[in-house]
Structure 1
Amino acid sequence: MNTSCVSWLKTTVINLNFLCWLCSAFVVAFGEFQMIHSRFASISTSFWPIYPANTLVVTGAIATGVCYLGFLGSLRENRCMLISFFILLFILMLVELAMAIIFLVFSRQIDTYIESDLRVSMEIYRGSSPDGNQTIKQDFDDVQHLFQCCGVNGLQDWGNDIPISCCTRDPCDVLVDSNWQEGCLVKLRDWFSWNYKCTGAGVVAMFILQFICLCVTIPLFCHFGRHGLGYK
């Protein structure tokens, strides 16, 4: 392999790893943004462990470190760093592929969990004292206000005890027709389904970029190995 080809390959690997690092950092920032601005975390207890925001932060943080290792190894022509990068990235890619499959499959089962979570949260809301379970109350009110809905399947779920968050007007009045009539189940289900699919698609995109980085790194590592480079 001539000098110009090696130089081009090294530059490509450095740029790709830097791009991968930037994308991973963006994923972490976006996940943090989702976690901070999530207004209804407490009512989605059935699938909180694989909530999209959590997954984005954890995956992005690990990918950031791995891509930086590849960037530094390519820049310094260090075979130890490159082989560590290769192994860690390969493991990370397998994990990301499994996570993408889980998200894409799990998005089809959201109906089963969303309805039960909403009903449980609604019963807690209705049975709580004015000062009790403020987190669930606030989250449920935020859901109704944000998605312009009321109850699980409709306004009738609340009976005669309709919360002010169902009101369509600001300031609210006492007219029955001033409340949202549609239930929150369909809207919240669609929102979670969209987020799960987008997260799965994002993980797949990261997987593709990392796969390209991996493929380009192999010939560079082999060149260093054939010429006894990379341990200085």
Structure 2
Amino acid sequence: MNRSCVSRVKNMVTALNFLCWLCGAFVIAFGEFQVIHSRFASLIISFWPIYPANTLVVTGTIVTCVCYLGVLGGMRENRCLLIIYFILLFILMLVELAMACVFLVYSRQIDTYFEEDLMRSLEIYRQSSEEHNTTLKDEFDAVQHLFKCCGVHGITDWKGNIPISCCSQDPCDVFIHANWQEGCVVKLRNWFAGNYLSTGAGVLAMFCIQLICLWITIPLTCHLHRRGLGYQ
């Protein structure tokens, strides 16, 4: 490989890894935005580590760190950094594939945990006094108001102690009023599925960029190895 080809490959490695680094930074920012503005986190705790916002923040942080090594190794033509980058990126891609497989295989179990968490939150809400568990109550009220639903499976879950957030009228300032009859579990499950779909699409796009980065790093590393270069 002549010097001009090496220069082009090096520029491609640097540019693609910089693009991947920018994608990782954007993913972190978007994940943090979701963490700050999320109103449902306290209702779902069994699979809190794989909550969409947390998944985005963790994945984005790892990607930015790994891609930084790729940018630095490509710019300096440092074979040691490129080898470390190649190994870490390969492991990261395997982890991403493993997470995708886990979601596919254990989707039913996740749905079960989802429903159990909602029932637990509803019982806490129903049995708490007015001044206790205010955060959980506010989030459950927000869910019922936003998704126009009541309870987990239906209005009967409240056992007569129906909160005002179940009201289907506007305004709800009368003593006797109509309530939403449909439960929230299906609507919330669909909302989470949509979030995971957008998260998965972003991770898939990043995976494709990582695959290209992995592929074009090989000839540059091999060239540096043949020339005995790359540890300065």
Structure-1-length-normalised TM-score: 0.92
Partner of 1:89: 89
Q: Relative to 1, partners in 2 of residues 1:84 and 1:72: Cα closer, same or farther, differing over 3 Å?
A: same
Structure-2-length-normalised TM-score: 0.92
Q: Is the 8 A contact 2:24 2:61 kept in 1?
A: yes
Partner letter of residue 64 of structure 2?
T
CA distance, structure 1, for counterparts of residue 93 and residue 115 of structure 2: 33
Partner of 1:111: 111
1:95-150 CA deviation, whole Å, 9 max, x = no partner?
11111222333444443122222211111111101111112111111111221211
Segment drifting more, 222-231 vs 65-74: 222-231
Partner of 1:192: 192
SS of aligned partner of 2:47: helix
Partner letter of residue 176 of structure 1?
H
Partner of 2:46: 46
Please say if 1:75 is aligned against 2:75: yes
Partner of 2:58: 58
CA distance, structure 2, for counterparts of residue 104 and residue 195 of structure 1: 15
Q: Tell me, which stretches of 5 or more residues in structure 1 are unaligned?
A: none
Q: Is the 8 A contact 2:169 2:177 kept in 1?
A: no
Partner of 2:177: 176
Partner of 1:148: 148
Q: Is the 8 A contact 1:103 1:199 kept in 2?
A: no
SS of aligned partner of 1:176: coil
SS of aligned partner of 1:192: helix
Task: Return structure 1 stretches of 4+ with deviation > 4 angstroms.
Answer: none
Segment drifting more, 151-160 vs 75-84: 151-160
TM-fit CA distance, 1:159 = 4.0
CA distance, structure 1, for counterparts of residue 78 and residue 110 of structure 2: 47
CA distance, structure 1, for counterparts of residue 148 and residue 170 of structure 2: 13
Q: Is the 8 A contact 1:97 1:203 kept in 2?
A: no
CA distance, structure 1, for counterparts of residue 48 and residue 158 of structure 2: 26
Partner letter of residue 214 of structure 2?
L
Identity rate, percent: 71
Partner letter of residue 23 of structure 1?
C
Name the Cα RMSD after superposition: 1.8
